[in-house]
Structure 1
Amino acid sequence: MHENRQRTNENVDRISTHVYSSKDNKSMHKSLNGEFILYQILLEQIFNKNQALTFYKNSLLEYFQPDDKTDKQIMIEFDKEYKSKKAIHWYTRETCIYKILNQALRTQCIDDIIPFGSFIRDLNKQLHKEHKLFIKQQKTSNREVYRGQFISKDEVNRLKSCQQGLISMKSFLSTSTNRKKALEFATSRSPPNDELTSILLEIDVNLNYLTKPYADIKRLTDHPLRT
């Protein structure tokens, strides 16, 4: 996803990756047939419109039972008012919904992913729709986007050792076309602990070789005027 935005809560900017080095084909093959494949199977089941999600539709409030009053009100609002056409809008709201979902995806916590099944499916469907519209409007196939964020030092080392390897993001990824703003976001705050460091991701997107939807979602976000 591309949106010119910044989040204010330092705890929700982190992402996690699957990193597989091509230097060790046997190890990479084993990993791909383990945690990576199982996680992809779960997501494909959720994305599959022909797959019933009856057991995914329990109330978020009932499942998570938050103690915080604000979080409780947000979940009540979500349970009562959520509509599939508002999936991106809800995902970009700076609420507990975004934080809990991304945490579940980053940690691959199946128990916490399941209650969001219908929401994840709607989000993926809306992104695919926006992706098709976005591609039709583009005059070139290459695009560079940026993301400033916190990342664990261990993960930085894994990324450095994975040149020519496979990197798979565990969650939805928001980026910006504004390098300066992404860099400011990466350097404007100190990491909350010694295990994290700030980085700037520079991502070259080839629109001809995408395996996941990519789109400009500014007009659908909770804050379309924020840059």
Structure 2
Amino acid sequence: MSSFVWYQFLKVFLMKMNTTDDDDDHVEARNDMITHCRWFYRDNKSILKQIDEFENVYKSTDAIRWYSKQSFVYRLINVALRTENMSVLYLFRYYLKDLCGQLTQNFRQIELYVRDMSFELYRGVRLNTNEVEKLKQSIGQMISANGFLSATWDRQIAEVYAGFAQQLTDKNLVSVIYKINVDLAQARSIIFADVAQYSEHLDEQEVLFDIGSIFTLNSIEFDDKNNCWLISLTTTDKMEEIVDKHVQSKLDSLRYVPTHIVFGEILLE
């Protein structure tokens, strides 16, 4: 299963899970997640206190807040998404459904204060030189985010994350600025939300893209002045029909199969 389809299937399946706060599946999913987190951080008293807090106060409308503050759920989920570890993602199905759902609910708020249907967002990272070279092979093609993708309205914030103000000690790491061209008229399936209101760092003006967002890789250029790579992306719907058809076909074939069996099916692909 390609990355395009894999992440879309995960997202669609999570949102199709019919659970309420008091049904058995919901309680089981919540307990599975908390039990795993306690086991993973069994020797870390500080994180165990976070997990206790999560268990006592968390509700579905807190999903973005817990992700944005880079808590234990942020760290464990991102590792699982990058490695496509379905066993761990299954344990986090309860929280992932909440996070995807809240991003979708908050998406329309962006249209209320964005004057134009097209605008730019930025993402600053430090990448290994080998990763940049691999990306160069995909210029003109579509790429999929391996999980949730964080960006910002403010390029200067992205530059901080790219390491502009620091001396990179690892010679294999380079500063990278992604310029993400968003066109709401042309990419109607894209889901993202302004999450600054949920963040502990309001000045970062954070925007969060949903799982498996797809972009066209336009260009990769080196900026001699700032000693960094500039990567241009554009949101796209071009893969939507192909991906949707594959995902729907898979869902139809597993319509009456229990949730844990479905995740097992994906794990084997």
Q: TM-score range by the shorter chain?
A: 0.7 to 0.9
The equivalent residue for 1:219 is 197
Structure 1 Cα separation of the partners of residues 188 and 55 of structure 2: 33
Structure 1 Cα separation of the partners of residues 169 and 148 of structure 2: 22
Structure 2 Cα separation of the partners of residues 35 and 175 of structure 1: 21
Q: Please list, as runs of the form range in 1=range in 2, the aligned pairs for 1:53-132 lying within 5 A after superposition.
A: 54=26, 56-64=29-37, 65=39, 66=41, 67-132=43-108
One-letter identity of the residue aligned with 1:222 = E
Structure 2 Cα separation of the partners of residues 154 and 88 of structure 1: 32
CA displacement at 1:168 relative to structure 2 = 0.3
The equivalent residue for 1:10 is none
Work out which of the residue numbers 115, 128, 132 in structure 2 matches 1:139: 115
The equivalent residue for 1:150 is 126
CA deviation string 1:79-125 (max 9, x = no partner) = 22210011111111132221111111111111111122121111111
The answer as to whether partners of 1:61 and 1:79 remain within 8 angstroms in 2 is: yes
Q: Does 1:46 align with 2:14?
A: yes
CA displacement at 1:201 relative to structure 2 = 1.0
Q: Higher Cα Rg: structure 1 or 2? A: 2
In the superposition, relative to structure 1, how do residues 58 and 191 fare at CA in structure 2: closer, same or farther (>3 Å)? farther
CA displacement at 1:223 relative to structure 2 = 3.7
The answer as to whether partners of 2:129 and 2:173 remain within 8 angstroms in 1 is: yes
TM-score, length-scaled by structure 1? 0.75
Q: Name structure 1 gaps, 5 residues minimum.
A: 1-32
Helix, strand or coil: the match of 1:174?
strand
Helix, strand or coil: the match of 1:163?
coil
Instruction: Extract structure 1 runs of 4+ deviating beyond 6 A.
Output: none
Structure 1 Cα separation of the partners of residues 81 and 179 of structure 2: 22
Helix, strand or coil: the match of 1:144?
strand
TM-score, length-scaled by structure 2? 0.64
One-letter identity of the residue aligned with 1:153 = T
Structure 2 Cα separation of the partners of residues 75 and 193 of structure 1: 34
Structure 2 Cα separation of the partners of residues 114 and 190 of structure 1: 40
The size of the alignment, in residue pairs, is 195
Helix, strand or coil: the match of 2:108?
helix
The answer as to whether partners of 1:146 and 1:176 remain within 8 angstroms in 2 is: yes
Backbone CA RMSD of aligned residues: 2.4
Structure 1 Cα separation of the partners of residues 182 and 105 of structure 2: 18
Structure 1 Cα separation of the partners of residues 160 and 75 of structure 2: 22
One-letter identity of the residue aligned with 2:35 = E
The answer as to whether partners of 1:63 and 1:115 remain within 8 angstroms in 2 is: yes
Structure 1 Cα separation of the partners of residues 5 and 84 of structure 2: 12
- Whose relative contact order is higher, 1 or 2, with alpha carbons under 8 Å and at least 6 apart? 1
Q: Name structure 2 gaps, 5 residues minimum.
A: 206-269
Structure 2 Cα separation of the partners of residues 159 and 167 of structure 1: 9
Structure 2 Cα separation of the partners of residues 43 and 119 of structure 1: 12
Structure 1 Cα separation of the partners of residues 183 and 134 of structure 2: 24
CA deviation string 1:183-206 (max 9, x = no partner) = 122123456756543311111111
The equivalent residue for 2:178 is 201
Larger % of strand: which?
2
Identical counterparts, % of pairs: 27
The answer as to whether partners of 2:157 and 2:204 remain within 8 angstroms in 1 is: no
